[in-house]
Structure 1
Amino acid sequence: MTPKKPEKHAAPPAREGDRLAEYRDRRDPGRTPEPVPGDEALPRGNDDTFVVQEHHATSLHWDLRLERDGVLVSWAVPKGLPWSPDTNHLAVHTEDHPLEYAAFEGEIPRGEYGAGKMTIWDRGTYETEKWSEREVKVVIHGSRVSGRYVLFRTRGRNWMIHRMDPPADPDAEPLPESLRPMRPQERARLPRDPDAWGFEFAWGGRRLAAYVEGGRTRFTDGRGRAVDGPGGLGSRLGAQLGVRPALLDGELAVLDGRETYMVYDVPHLDGHPLLDVPYRERRERLDDLGLSGPRWQTAPWFPGDGAAVLEAARGQGLPGVVAKRLDSPYEPGEESGAWRLVPSRPKRRR
């Protein structure tokens, strides 16, 4: 006997001029937790509510919604709102949403329109400076984003969003186009003053830097050249960091038969280079990011006890240990004695 498909709950018939008709037509109120109001008259608000929702759908993006005439006028912004007037971001105009959507967070089921996790990234109030069919100027007051923005239509549903105010963080810098990684010098023995060092496993993998911005990721190799990342790593890693820009340093190693990106440094984070920040503080900031997923991990590090780490590396068949001075800066492209690679097994003399 063939099982019956679940019945789709029919949306109420649309009234002429119904601004939520497209929204209701795309959603089954019996399957999605999203608010799906009936065909009653639209509520009247103050036209001053805004929300930005982080949407982990097929492709990570952020939804900007502005209350206007009883609905939330909406744009999908793939890279999030720009933090500087130097860069415009694409904003795709989508269907109007009900006002109740400003409070919505939840998991839209697979098979439904917009399937994926939806969370509130920021919300607050806004003021309208101009509103037309081709241009919208607003002043946003949120906890994570504030300032004057303009949305302008380019073609069809495609708009652009531009920040009109100076950068939210005037000292912020974009990620570098390329960075050659710092390299350790090989030594036969561990440092004599272990309390001044942190110790990591040497993974024996391929050096890979990840440049994550707006939920997207690009990669460079050990010589700073652009390379393709492993399939699926870039988008998933970008989704975990969201809008936080970061430059990560690590290795693509084979662990338990699976390629895994082991991240062990963060030379740039949240618009600020960390090259002059001591290794200990960079590692603490990296740990705070909580990077862990099916294809990537934050590599462990151990202050002070190098002998135990070296013994563990031998037991696990790893190439060795990298000792890093706790006060060492990040020296791009340099082979520095502040980092030392100590092999698990001493080399045989010929």
Structure 2
Amino acid sequence: MADKLAKYRSKRDASRTPEPVPQQHPEQGDDRAFVIQEHHARSLHWDLRLERDGVLVSWAVPKGLPADPKVNHLAVHTEDHPMEYLDFHGEIPSGEYGAGSMTIWDTGTYDTEKWSEREVKVVLHGERAQGRYVLFRTDGKNWMIHRMDPPAVDPLPPLEPMLPVKRAKLPRDQEAYAFEFAWGGRRVLVHVDGGRTDLAREFPWLRPMAEAFGSRSAVLDGEIVELGGAEILVCTDLLYDDGHALVARPFTERRAALDALDISGARWQTAPSWPAQAQPIRQAAREQGLPGIVGKRLDSPYEPGPSKWWAFIPT
């Protein structure tokens, strides 16, 4: 009988990596277990592993499992892994194959609907990954993964920045607003999906921030501003979060969800927001040479273009 783990062993030195490198021939189990590992290697990806005939048949999925049946994701078929990999997590040393941090993203059981050399249909029963998926082989060695269930997420609506309307005076009902600095930078909507953002093509320094999101999808509203001689992203609103559209929800809910993400780094941060404190915030903006402040009604939805819900008050 062929050694299904020969290729796996050939790529690893048991004295140098904490990964399991069993020498014995694998024993067949019940073909029900699966694990998905988040792998911060040279390029962030997720490893889907399905128990089959005593080994874990594996695919590397660069953008994670697709949540929407309209979108297929690349799945790179890799070498079979030992069953001990079901609960492996840790740091694979630099210089070793697959070097980087690996954590368990989800684990559970699965049902097999079809298994052939070109097509694998399964139903996943995990805490985070649930539903029917098919892995199918395309031309050559490439594979794709497709979700067969109805969408498990809200569709991403067309989005344009919401803009404040200029006012000469502060609103009378200041307790109904939260006030923020108007930074005077370039307004951007940051789409993050699969640990990546298209905005990194223009601003490569955003790649680590996007990678920190892991498999979480999000759309951030913010500004690219220059502070201390460096460009940074200042995040001011959250429009889409982990499969849920937030644009119809009040600003207070969106802001709480944004704060919960704890976006903070050397070149990205969450903008401060102060409810009902217009006068001191306006004075602070004036002292810092900022163009003004923005008042956002606490009950405001997010709508494209100029909106009466938001007010720009110059300093």
Write out the 4+ residue segments of structure 1 that deviate beyond 4 Å after TM superposition: none
Correspondence for 2:246: 274
Answer yes or no: is 1:173 the counterpart of 2:146.
Answer: no
Find the residue that maps to 2:285 and give its secondary structure. helix
1:148-159 to structure 2, matched below 5 A, reads: 148-159=132-143
Report if aligned partners of 2:3, 2:25 keep a CA contact under 8 Å in 1.
no
Find the residue that maps to 1:232 and give its secondary structure. helix
For 1:240-269, what per-residue CA distance to the aligned partner results, in whole angstroms no more than 9, with x for missing partners?
222222211100011222111111111222
For 1:48-91, what per-residue CA distance to the aligned partner results, in whole angstroms no more than 9, with x for missing partners?
11011111222221110001111111001111112232222111
Correspondence for 1:9: none
Correspondence for 2:104: 120
Structure 1 residues 158 and 294, CA gap change in structure 2 (3 angstroms):
farther
Answer yes or no: is 1:325 the counterpart of 2:290.
Answer: no
- Structure 2 Cα separation of the partners of residues 36 and 112 of structure 1: 14
Report if aligned partners of 1:217, 1:237 keep a CA contact under 8 Å in 2.
no
- Structure 2 Cα separation of the partners of residues 143 and 126 of structure 1: 12
Correspondence for 1:145: 129
Correspondence for 2:2: 17
Compute the TM-score of the two structures, normalised by the length of structure 2.
Answer: 0.93
- Structure 1 Cα separation of the partners of residues 147 and 62 of structure 2: 16
The Cα of 1:175 is off from its aligned counterpart by 5.2
- Structure 2 Cα separation of the partners of residues 71 and 131 of structure 1: 15
Q: 249, 256, 267: which one pairs with 1:295?
A: 267
Correspondence for 2:69: 85
Report if aligned partners of 2:247, 2:302 keep a CA contact under 8 Å in 1.
yes
- Structure 1 Cα separation of the partners of residues 178 and 296 of structure 2: 5
Correspondence for 1:6: none
Correspondence for 1:215: 195
For 1:200-254, what per-residue CA distance to the aligned partner results, in whole angstroms no more than 9, with x for missing partners?
11112111111122222124xxxxxxx9531131x32322222222211100011
Correspondence for 1:315: 287
Report if aligned partners of 1:175, 1:211 keep a CA contact under 8 Å in 2.
no
Residue 161 of structure 2 aligns with an amino acid whose one-letter code is P
- 17-26 vs 115-124, which moves further: 17-26
Correspondence for 1:230: 203
> Percent of counterpart pairs with the same letter?
62
The Cα of 1:189 is off from its aligned counterpart by 3.1
Answer yes or no: is 1:65 the counterpart of 2:49.
Answer: yes
Correspondence for 2:175: 195
The alignment covers a number of residue pairs equal to: 315
For 1:305-348, what per-residue CA distance to the aligned partner results, in whole angstroms no more than 9, with x for missing partners?
12222232233333322111111111202x2232122233xxxx
Find the residue that maps to 2:265 and give its secondary structure. coil
The Cα of 1:107 is off from its aligned counterpart by 2.0
Correspondence for 2:213: 241
Correspondence for 2:314: 343
1:26-45 to structure 2, matched below 5 A, reads: 26-37=11-22, 39-45=23-29
